[in-house]
Structure 1
Amino acid sequence: MELSGKVAIITGVSKGIGRATAEALLAKGAVVAGWGRTAPEGLANERFQFFECDIRDEVSVKEAYTNTLRELGPAVHVLVNNAGIGNFGPIDGFSSEDWHAMFDTNVHGLFYCTRAVLPEMKKQQEGHIINVASLAGTAGTAKLAGYCATKYAVRGFSDALFKEVRPDGVRVTCVMPGSVETNFNGAEPGQEPDPHKMQPEDIAAAIVHALEAPQPVMISELQMRPTQPK
């Protein structure tokens, strides 16, 4: 897809992979609607607009989509389902609230956003949905069982969805990064980039690569790992 002038929605846009993806798409000439509970600080671009949205809330998603169409036009070409949270710990010490919070964001919110954009994408016979999962969707890890469960769900959803919507000209890509240096799980990125982790910009570049693939090509899954992990 040629990204210049195309409208892209990115969830979880305030920091990390979401923000890096917004900046990468803006650099390609796209018009970006950033959805999130908090706006990204200092992201000033005439082609960027922030829409307050809690993707865990079905009504909030519908309102954000309606507002996006009103402000940016009737066509949305790209959806990047990036918003996600991870709560770690042993299952027998895990709170139901933490469990539900992950599923409400990582799975249910992703479904609400996808369902919102699909009718128009199918009508225009063009669109690309990027679901940011994780390598935690490919193998279980102790004390990450809940998070792994959500990312397995995202991977399964993506695999089924691409088969469902490919006749309509809509592409679906599941991006599965390993260790990325972000605020994930309460961690603060260091002043100097960690050479043993990928950077948010690396994941954003892979997303752009998938989006820019020629229309007959669909990159259905992308697994990404640090070259030299610790």
Structure 2
Amino acid sequence: MELSGKVAIITGVSKGIGRATVEALLAKGAEVAGWGRTAPDDFKHPRFHFIKCDIRKEADVQKAYATTTKLLGDKVHVLVNNAGIGNFGPIDGFEAADWHAMFDTNVHGLFYCTKAVLPQMKKQKEGHIINVASLAGTAGTANLAGYCATKYAVRGFSDALFKEVRPQGVRVTCVMPGSVETNFGGIEPGAEPNPHKMQPEDIAATIVHTLEAPQATMISEIQMRPTQPK
């Protein structure tokens, strides 16, 4: 897809992969609507439109979609389901509220956003949905059972969805990064980039790569790992 002039919605844009993806798509000439509870700090661009939205609430998502189309027109070409949270710990000490918070954001919110954009994408016979999962959606890890469960769900949803919507010309890609240097899990990135981890910009570049694939090609799933982990 040629991204210049296209309309993209990205969730979870305050920092990390979401913000890096906003910047990458703006650099390609896209109009970007950023949905989230928190706007990115000190970030302004004439083609970036922050829309306050709690994706855990379907009514909020529907309102954000209506605001987006009012601002940018009916056509929506890209949705990047990036918003996600991770609560870690042993299952027998895990709070039910933390479990629900992860599923409400990582799975249910992703469903609400996808449901909102699909009718228009099908109608225009063009669109691309990127679901940001994780390598945690490919193998279980001790003390990450809840998080892994959400990312397995995202991967399964993506696999089913691409088969459902490809006849209408809509592409779906499940992006599964490994170790990325972000604030995820409350860990502050270091002042100097860690050469043993991927950077948010690396994941954003991969997302752009999948979006720009020739129209006859759909990259349905992509896994990313640090080249030289430590």
Task: Give me the whole-angstrom Cα distance separating, in 2, the residues matched to 1:74 and 1:41.
Answer: 28
Aligned to 2:69: 69
Query: Which residue in the other structure is 1:221 paired with?
Result: 221
Q: What do the CA deviations read for 1:198-223 (whole angstroms, capped 9, x no partner)? A: 00000000000000000000000010
Deviations 1:153-186 (A, max 9, x none): 0000000000000000000000000000001000
1:73 and 1:122 map into 2 onto residues whose CA distance is 16
- CA displacement at 1:111 relative to structure 2: 0.0
Q: TM-score, normalised by structure 2?
A: 1.00
Residue 43 of structure 1 and its aligned partner are, at CA, apart by: 1.7
Equivalent position amino acid for 2:220 in 1? S
State the one-letter code of the partner of 1:114: T
SS of match in other structure, 1:54: coil
Q: Please give the alpha-carbon distance, in whole angstroms, between the structure 1 residues aligned to 2:59 and 2:11.
A: 15
Give 1:39 deviation, angstroms.
Answer: 0.5
Deviations 1:109-129 (A, max 9, x none): 000000000000000000000
Structure 1 equivalent of residue 21 of structure 2: 21
How many residues end up aligned between the 2 structures?
Answer: 230
Residue 107 of structure 1 pairs with residue 107 of structure 2: yes
Structure 1 residue 44: deviation in Å? 1.4
- Mean Cα deviation higher: 165-174 or 41-50: 41-50
Instruction: Using the aligned pairs only, state the percent identity.
Output: 83
More displaced stretch, 53-62 vs 41-50: 41-50
TM-score, normalised to structure 1, is 1.00
Structure 2 unaligned regions, length at least 5: none
Give how far 1:71 is off. Answer: 0.6
1:14-93 matches, within 5 Å, as 14-93=14-93
SS of the aligned residue for 1:32 comes to strand
Aligned to 2:124: 124
Corresponding residue for residue 168 of structure 1:
168
Separation in 2, partners of 1:194, 1:181: 7
- Give the gaps of 5 or more residues in structure 1: none
In the alignment, which residue of structure 1 is the partner of 2:207? 207
